[in-house]
Amino acid sequence: MTRPNRPPIPLSEPQRRLLMQLRIEGAAPRTRLAQALGMNGASVTRLTQSLLALDLIEELETPEAVARGRPMVPLTVSGRGGWAIGATPHLGWLELVLVDFRGRPLVHDTTPFDSPDPRVFAQVVETRLQALAATHGFMRGKFLGLGVAVPGYALPGDRNRRAVVDRLAGWDDVPLADIIGDALGMPVWIENDASVAALAEYYQDGIIGRYRSVLTLFLGHGVGGGLIAERDLFLGEHGNAGEVGRLFPGHDARPSGIDLLRTLREAGIDVDSLADIDALMETHRPVIDRWTRRVIEQLEQAVLSGIVWLDPGAIILSGALPLRLLQTIAAGLDEIGRHRDENYRAALPPVLASPIGSKAVVIGAAMIPIHAVTAQHTPL
C-alpha cells in the first residue's frame, strides 16, 4: 500500500479555516475575518500573526487602511508561501507547470516525451526542473510537492494504482506515487486528469468566492468529470467519482475531442490535432454544428444527474476544445435545463465555459499539494 502524503505545511484547523476564507474573499481585514469565522479579535490576531510568520498571507498596505488602524489593513494569501509542480504525460510530449501559493502559474513548459515508463517520466521531469530553475530561479521558496495528472481510473485498494491508456503501459497497476516520488526524492500526489481539472477550475477568480460545490465536465481527447463538494475535491469511495466516460462507451459516438476529429475526417476534412479545430470553426461550420448539437444531447443526462445528486453551485465545461465551442455547448446545456425546469422554483446552477482550456489539467495537478495545506481531507 502506498504511503499517504502528509500536508506539506501542517496547520491547525483554525489556521486552515482562516486561510480558506482569504482564498474565498480574495482580501479581507482582520475585523471582517473575525465576523466571517465567528471568532473574537484576539483569536484572529494570533492566527494571522502565525500565518504571516509562515509567509502564507501578507498585508496589503493601503494608506486609508493604515490610517484606520492595523485591524483594518486587508490581508490576502501570499504567493511567497511556497510553490508546487504539476505534470502530465501526453501523446508525444510532457507538460509541466509551476504555481505559487496563490495558485498563479509561474512557468509553463512542454518537452518531447514518448516513453511508457514512469521512471523515464520522472527523469524527464527532473531534467526540465533543473533547466527551469537555472533560468527562472524559482527554487528559492518553500517547495510543497509534485502533483501528477494521470489519464486513468483508480484500481481497487489503492488509488495510486491506475488503469491507464495503452500508450502508458508501464503506468498500469503500479504504485505510481512511490515510483515517481522515490526517483525524484519529493512528495508526489497521483490523481485522475479530469478530477484535477475540476480543482483548477474551482480555484479560479469568480468561482471559489461564489460557490461551495462545483461539477466540472472535461472534454479533452476523451470525456471525464470532477467534483468539488463543500470546497474540497470529492473523489468517492474508490477514488473514481466523476468517471462520466463510462456513460459513453468508446465504440460509440462520444462527446470527446477524438470523436470530433474522427467526425471531421469522415467528412473529408484533413485535421490531425484539437489545436487545429479553432481554424475550422467558420469554414466547416455545418459539420461542427451537427456534432455540437449531438454532444449537447449526449451530455444532457450527465448534467441532469449531477444536478440531482450534487446540487452544485455551478457546472463548468472545461477541456481542450476551442473556447467558443465550449461556450456553445455550455449555452445549449443551460438552455435545455432551464426549459425543462421552467416550473421548478429551486435554484438551478449556471453552466459556464472555462477559458483555461487544456491547461486546467496540469494547473490542477500543481494545485493538489497547495490544496492539501488547507483541505479538511488530504488527498492520497
Domain ranges of the chain: 13-80, 82-198+361-374, 206-355
Calpha distance 10→23 (Å, rounded): 18
Reply yes or no on whether the pLDDT at 3 is more than 60: no
Instruction: Report the range of poorest mean pLDDT among 38-52, 110-124, 337-351.
Output: 337-351
Calpha distance 242→227 (Å, rounded): 6
Topology of domain 82-198+361-374 in CATH is Nucleotidyltransferase; domain 5 (3.30.420)
pLDDT tens for 245-296 read 999 987 789 999 999 999 999 999 999 888 889 999 989 999 999 999 999 9
Which pLDDT score is estimated for 344? 76
Calpha distance 167→82 (Å, rounded): 34
pLDDT tens for 200-220 read 999 998 999 999 999 999 998
What is the 3 state secondary structure string of the chain?
CCCCCCCCCCCCHHHHHHHHHHHHHCCECHHHHHHHHCCCHHHHHHHHHHHHHCCCEEECCCHHHHHCCHHHCCEEECHHHCEEEEEEEECCEEEEEEEECCCCEEEEEEEECCCCCHHHHHHHHHHHHHHHHHHHCHHHCCEEEEEEEECEEEECCEEEEEEECHHHHHHECCCHHHHHHHHHCCCEEEEEHHHHHHHHHHCCCCCCCCCCCEEEEEECCCEEEEEEECCEEECCCCCCCCCHHHHCCCCCCCCCHHHHHHHHHHCCCCCCCHHHCHHHCCCCHHHHHHHHHHHHHHHHHHHHHHHHHHCCCEEEEEECCCHHHHHHHHHHHHHHHHHHCCCCCCCCCCEEECCCCCHHHHHHHHHHHHHHHHCCCCCC
Reply yes or no on whether the pLDDT at 67 is more than 60: no
Calpha distance 321→354 (Å, rounded): 10
Which pLDDT score is estimated for 99? 96
Instruction: Report the range of poorest mean pLDDT among 84-93, 175-184, 244-253, 334-343.
Output: 334-343
Which pLDDT score is estimated for 139? 59
Which pLDDT score is estimated for 68? 57
- Average pLDDT of the chain, as a whole number: 91
**Integer angstrom CA distances of residue 322 from 149, 277, 315:** 21, 7, 18
Looking at per-residue pLDDT, the higher value among 273 and 34 belongs to: 34
Query: With bands split at pLDDT 50, 70 and 90, how would you rate the model's confidence at 146?
Result: very high
pLDDT tens for 102-132 read 999 999 999 999 999 999 999 999 999 999 8
Query: With bands split at pLDDT 50, 70 and 90, how would you rate the model's confidence at 136?
Result: confident
Query: With bands split at pLDDT 50, 70 and 90, how would you rate the model's confidence at 82?
Result: very high
Please determine whether the domains at 13-80 and 82-198+361-374 fall in the same fold group of CATH.
Answer: no
Calpha distance 232→235 (Å, rounded): 9
Region 38-61 average pLDDT: 95
Region 293-311 average pLDDT: 94
CATH 3.50.50.60, domain 206-355, yes or no? no
* C-alpha 169, offset from chain centre: 24
Which pLDDT score is estimated for 379? 46
Which pLDDT score is estimated for 1? 39
Amino acid of residue 48: T
Asked whether the CA dihedral 160, 165, 171, 173 is positive or negative, the reply is positive
Query: With bands split at pLDDT 50, 70 and 90, how would you rate the model's confidence at 380?
Result: very low
Query: With bands split at pLDDT 50, 70 and 90, how would you rate the model's confidence at 345?
Result: confident
0.85 exceeded by the pTM? yes
Looking at per-residue pLDDT, the higher value among 6 and 311 belongs to: 311
Looking at per-residue pLDDT, the higher value among 159 and 293 belongs to: 293
Q: Which CATH number fits domain 13-80: 3.40.50.300, 1.10.10.10, 1.20.120.330, 1.20.1250.20?
A: 1.10.10.10
Which pLDDT score is estimated for 340? 73
Region 289-316 average pLDDT: 94
Which pLDDT score is estimated for 294? 96
Reply yes or no on whether the pLDDT at 40 is more than 80: yes
Which pLDDT score is estimated for 72? 86
Calpha distance 39→48 (Å, rounded): 12
Region 297-322 average pLDDT: 94
Reply yes or no on whether the pLDDT at 74 is more than 90: yes
Reply yes or no on whether the pLDDT at 372 is more than 60: yes
